[in-house]
Amino acid sequence: MAKSNPQQPPAQTLAALLAEHPEVMGLTWSIDPSGVLHGSNPEDDGRTVAHLARIIGGTPVRTTTTNPIGDRLTLTALVTVWHGVHFDVWTTHETPAEADTLPLGAVAVLAPAGGGR
C-alpha cells in the first residue's frame, strides 16, 4: 500500500485555485510537511488577502504595530479552510504615520464596499 503524502491535496487545491483565479498573484506559496498551505508577501497592502478571502472564504484580520526601529507596519492575515485544505496567508506593508488607528481592543466598523448607505 502506498504511503499518503499530506502535501499532495494542498498542492492540487492550490493549482486549481490559481488556474481558476489567475488574478490571485503576488504571493509566495509553500506547503509545510503537515499539509498547511502558506502564502505570503511582505510588500502587499492587504488587497491580495482581501481578494483571496472573497474567493475562498474567511475574514482577513488586520493588525498595526511598530517594529523595534520605529516603522509602523500593518499585517493582514487570513486563516481559513477551503476544500479541506488549511490556508495561512499574510501580507504586510508600512503604515503611514497619519493613518487612523484605534486603541487595542477597539472594533472598527467598515463601510460596505461600493459606498453603500
CA 25 to chain centroid: 12
Q: What are the two backbone dihedrals, phi and then psi, of residue 94, each rounded to the nearest 5 degrees?
A: -70, 145
- What's the grid cell of residue 38? 502558506
CA 51 to each of CA 7, 100, 115: distance values in angstroms, whole numbers, following the listed order: 24, 22, 18
- pLDDT band of 102, cuts 50, 70, 90: low
> Which has more pLDDT, 14 or 104?
14
Predicted confidence (pLDDT) per residue in 19-76, tens digit? 999 988 889 999 999 999 999 998 888 999 999 999 999 999 999 888 888 888 899 9
